[in-house]
Amino acid sequence: MDLGRHRRSILDRTSEAWTSEEELAAWAEGYEAELRRTGLVDFDDLVIFGQRLVSEHDWVLPLLQAKFPVLAVDEYQDLGVALHRIVKRVAFDGGVRLFAVGDPDQSIYGFTGADGALLQELAEREDVERVQLQLNYRSASRIVSASEMALGEARGYQSNDPDRQAVIAFVECDDGLEGQAAHAVAEIIPAALAAKPGRALGDIAILYRDYRAGDVVAEAVAAADLDFVRVDTVAPYRKVALTNWIEDCAAWCAGGWREARPQLRGLLDRWIGFHRARISDAQARTELQSLTRLLWSLRVEEGLARDFVASLRDGMLDALMAAEPSLADQSEQVDRMSTALAAGGPLADLDLASLGGRDGSPVHLNLLTLHSAKGCEYDVVIMVGLDLGSLPWRSELPAVRRESRRLFYVGLTRARDEIHMLYSGYVDTRGGRMYWGRSPFLNELEARMQEAEDE
């Protein structure tokens, strides 16, 4: 167990759980003492202090309730004990109305201390009304059943359109990950594009376990001259509120303004939200007028994303970032965005519409880690690297193995119409090439599908 996880998951410092890990507790306490001495807090502190604030001070509750009468929590399965305790305290002691959504089967952040069982615990309370959704509007029925078989648990999910056709393919490829990526590019993608009129690259995703696999896939996709967006840790910039806002402004300026997609009002509200210091109503009005004028002047049918971002920065954004120290981390991502868009950068040729549509862009193939695919959906999902030693790792403790299985489940449930599972039967490790066979998840899934067909 690492230091961060120890701090995040054990809240009571006098408990046996804290003290029994003597060395870890000493390190954690020494680290925290150093933070306090230098007047710093780290990300874990934000949650730990928040938890202490609401737990130890009753007066905070009515204040929170007055300002936030309703608390909505999405992806509840990703919460750890500290956030869970905050939610319970403000909802059940503080009278804040709670609306929580989640799916324990998609809990894939156990390594950060997240625990899907906390959602179950919440749902089992007598004062909580539990609503279990059963109808799946996303995936064709065979995909819904296959996902349940992959999970190994009957959940009773039904597709809303039982007649929709699906492709579920187990594909063995020579040449490891390179061969799998090459096969996806040369065979699966062209066939998928041809299979449905109007389908575009943006309706297809390639999912992989980590950024190293992402590099291999990106290389194959780039070699075939396909446009793609990559959402993982080596993406050119991270998605933060400011970069999302810039992308949405780009979507609006590239033609979205005609149909109010996105709405200008939302862009303006988010702009005001970036100001941490309180601004007067008059100031806010002036800002909004200037921003509306600026965005209106930046509308173009076609143009380079680079010019747009430069104008937005010169016009207003740089001044905001300079004035708001709280935006420092986000400004760094805006700088990374500008660098990626600059001549010679990986996104140098990106046009405005594509910047606006980088999430769900109709013309860009999506390359994502399984973790970042959560919450997304595509017509066609291609999962690569489904070999033992990659997904799952070879020797995993049972709890880790269960999480790997859920990761596989998350991948499968992203697909609307087609799911392609690629493997080679071996993995390349530091110790050389290991012929451990394909993922046991595939063996089980195929056997269960066969069994169901035979019945």
In degrees and rounded to multiples of 5, residue 293 shows phi and psi of -60, -45
Nearer to ligand ATP, 99 or 137 (CB): 137
Q: Tokens for 321? A: 């970032």
Q: Which is nearer to ligand ATP, 204 or 427 (CB)?
A: 204
Q: How many positions of this chain bind ligand ATP (CB under 6 A)? A: 7
- 106, 78 in Cβ contact below 8 A? no
Token pair belonging to 95: 């009278």
| Binding residue (CB under 6 A) for ligand ATP from 32, 50, 104, 138 | 138
103 or 418, CB closer to ligand ATP?
103
Give the CA count within 13 Å in the CB-facing half-sphere of 39: 0
Quote the DSSP letter at residue 376: -
* Nearest Cα residue to 249 out of 332, 315, 342: 315
70-129 residues in contact with ligand ATP (CB under 6 A) are: 103, 106
Does position 137 interact with ligand ATP (CB under 6 A)? The reply is yes
Interface mask (CB under 6 A) for ligand ATP, residues 336-375, using x and -?
---------------------------------------x
Minimum distance, C-beta of residue 79 to ligand ATP, in the bound complex (Å): 15
Indicate the residue among 104 and 440 with the shorter CB distance to ligand ATP. Answer: 104
Spatial distance between the Cα atoms of 414 and 409, rounded to a whole number of angstroms: 9
Minimum CB separation of residue 11 from ligand ATP in Å reads: 28
Q: For ligand ATP, which is the closer residue by CB, 106 or 354? A: 106
Minimal distance, residue 413 CB to ligand ATP, in Å: 5
Site for ligand ATP contains 159 (CB under 6 A): no
Report the alpha-carbon distance of residue 87 to residue 81 in Å, rounded.
10
User: What is the distance between the terminal CA atoms of the chain, rounded to a whole angstrom?
Assistant: 45
Task: Report which residue's Cβ sits closest to ligand ATP.
Answer: 137
Q: Which is nearer to ligand ATP, 148 or 387 (CB)?
A: 148
Instruction: Supply the minimum distance, in Å, between the C-beta of residue 410 and ligand ATP.
Output: 8
* Torsion 302-305-308-312 (CA) sign: positive
Site map 398..417 versus ligand ATP, x via CB under 6 A: ---------------x----
How, if at all, do strands 167-172 and 415-423 pair? parallel
- Report in angstroms how near the CB of residue 144 gets to ligand ATP at its nearest: 11
User: Does 424 engage in binding with ligand ATP (CB under 6 A)?
Assistant: no
Pairing, β 432-434 against β 427-429: antiparallel
In the complex, what is the shortest distance from the CB of residue 198 to ligand ATP, in angstroms, rounded to a whole number? Answer: 16
- With CA atoms as reference, report the closest residue to 361 among 243, 231, 253, 259: 231
Choosing from 377, 428, 444, 446, the residue that interacts with ligand ATP (CB under 6 A) is 377
Closer of 288 and 376 to ligand ATP (Cβ): 376
Q: Could you give the count of Cα atoms lying within 13 Å of 340 in the half-sphere of its Cβ? A: 20
Q: How many residues does the chain have?
A: 455
> Which one, 103 or 115, has the nearer CB to ligand ATP?
103
CB of 352 to ligand ATP, least distance (A): 26
Kindly give, in sequence order, each residue whose CB lies less than 8 Å from that of residue 239, ignoring residues fewer than 6 positions away.
Answer: 231, 359
Q: In the complex, what is the shortest distance from the CB of residue 104 to ligand ATP, in angstroms, rounded to a whole number?
A: 11
- As measured in angstroms, the least distance from the Cβ of 142 to ligand ATP is 17
Rounded to the nearest 10 degrees, how much is the dihedral formed by the CA atoms of 442, 446, 448, 449? Answer: 130
Note whether 168 and 376 are within 8 A (CB).
no
Query: What is residue 75's three-state secondary structure?
Result: coil
**x/- binding map, residues 2-31, to ligand ATP, per CB under 6 A?**
------------------------------
Give the nearer residue to ligand ATP in terms of CB position, either 273 or 375. 375
- Residue 305 or 419: the one with the smaller Cβ distance to ligand ATP is 419
Alpha helices in 38-105 (DSSP H): 43-56, 60-67, 81-88
* CA quadruple 134, 360, 365, 106: dihedral, nearest 10: -30
Least separation, in Å, of the C-beta of 381 and ligand ATP? 12
Residues that bind ligand ATP (CB under 6 A): 103, 106, 137-138, 375, 377, 413
